[in-house]
Amino acid sequence: MTGAPEVAHAKLNLALHVRRREADGYHAIETLFVFCADGDVLTRTEGPGLIVSGPFAGALGEGGDNLVTRAARGFAEIFGDEEAGFHLDKRLPVAAGIGGGSADAAAALRLLARAQGVAATDPRLMTLAASLGADVPACLLSQPTRGDGRGDRLQPIASTLAGMPVLLVNPRLPLATGPVFAAWDGVDRGPLADGDPLDVARAARNDLEPPARTLLPAIDAVLDALHACAGVTLARMSGSGATCFALFEDAAARDAADAAIGKAATGWWRLATHLL
């Protein structure tokens, strides 16, 4: 390993409004991104390629060609560096609505940019991020951000959420993004408001939650368990699922919820953390 590790911060959508389906098949969305202190961990290696370990390494097979290697290849082509290699400690579930590969690719770009003295604001870096996936630019920033368009037209927002305790829960069942968007009912239920992100999120919704719950009913049980916990400020599904989250008034309430859910549903994945 070479250099300090980089956290690929888990991404949460506090709200996600789907406004319409575009002619090219993509959906116009409005969303509030926030990021957790914890996530996958990426470290540079001496040679090119990708080594994967960790609890969810098996979901990625032997590594090979994925968003991290594409990020390394794209960076080398744009900035004239040799293609870098990485070790990925895969701690987050795959196809889970919390960034996953997008966060990993963004972490790789942050590591490479620092090593080569490339400014985080370099437009070439953001263009490369956007070419890798709609969520990669937001994950590159890893700060409270409003996303419009495909979620890649970004506007950082002022937030008082830093440090807020959060519990992530996933039923350990993958849920692909495409089928969830395809099952959206096509109804525009209105725009996402502006203002304090927590107030906005409480008044908002995740339009992908109903189709995701239909496709994967286990999400119902996860959300019911979170809503039943004391001290919950907001509970919702993130992204296209199946991971759900709850924001808490304090760490003690979060930890009590984590313990109670862990005892009641031993097969579920959980992550007790806090927002950046």
User: Does 152 qualify as catalytic in the annotation?
Assistant: no
Contact 51, 45 (CB under 8 A): yes
Q: Long-range contacts made by residues 121-126, C-beta under 8 angstroms, separation at least 24?
A: 124/78, 124/79
Task: Please name which of 83, 127, 91 lies closest in space to residue 108, comparing C-alpha atoms.
Answer: 83
Establish whether 11 is a catalytic residue: yes
For the record, the structure tokens of 189 come out as: 């239920």
Contact 152, 138 (CB under 8 A): yes
Helix (H, G, I), strand (E, B) or coil at 179: helix
- Catalytic one of 40, 135, 207, 258: 135
Phi/psi for 107 (5° steps) reads -65, -40
Residue with the two structure tokens 């890798």: 132
| Catalytic position from the list 11, 89, 207, 258 | 11
Backbone angles phi, psi at 156, to 5 degrees: -55, 145
Residue 197: partners with Cβ closer than 8 Å, 6 or more residues away: 14, 32, 34, 144, 157, 159, 161
Catalytic positions are: 11, 135
